[in-house]
Amino acid sequence: MILENYIILSASLFCIGLYGLMTSPNIIRAFMSLELVFNAINLNFIAFSNFMDGQEIKGQVISIFIIAIAAAEAAIGLALILTIYRNKNTTDTSTIDWLKW
């Protein structure tokens, strides 16, 4: 009964992150919303591993992998944001259109 509690919390975090990812004009805020989506997925893995796989907790291992990949993604993403700001002098997502046409 309490599993639904955690999954609904995870779904709400996912939807809030999706809203920020769609609507934010600033690329750093979109990046932070992406971190929210990552954390929602992590919470799902850990909740299911606790309630359905209590003896060998494989979901926690997967969430460790997700945390490591999120760290790599943060390093690459922030380097890209700094390079874009250095070349374009803005972080507005509506002005970044090098690959558009």
Partner 1 sequence: MDFSPEIVLIFLEIFIIVTALGVVLTSKVLEAAFFLSGTLSGLAGIYILLNADFVAAAQIVVYVGAINVLIIFAIMLLQQQLNSNNNLNGIQQLVQPIIPISLFIVFVVIITNTNWPIQSTLATVETTQAIGKHLFTDYLLPFEVVSILLLLALIGAIIIARRDLVVENKKSIIYSPSQLSIESKD
Please list every residue from 13 through 52 that binds partner 1, using CB under 8 A. 13-20, 22-26, 28-29, 31-33, 35-36, 39, 42-43, 46-47, 49-52
- Shortest Å, Cβ 100 to partner 1: 17
CA distances 11 to 30, 50, 82, 84, 99, Å, are 18, 17, 31, 32, 32
Q: Which of 9, 41, 99, 101 binds partner 1 (CB under 8 A)?
A: 9
Site string for partner 1, 79-98 (x = CB under 8 A): xxxxx-xxx-xxx--x----
- Shortest Å, Cβ 38 to partner 1: 9
CB 49 within 8 A of CB 60: yes
Instruction: Give yes or no for residue 100 binding partner 1 (CB under 8 A).
Output: no
- Enumerate residues 6+ apart whose C-beta is below 8 A from 17: 33, 34, 35, 36, 37, 40
Can you tell me the distance from the alpha carbon of 3 to that of 40, in angstroms, rounded to the nearest whole number?
Answer: 14
Closer residue to partner 1 in complex, CB, 60/96: 60
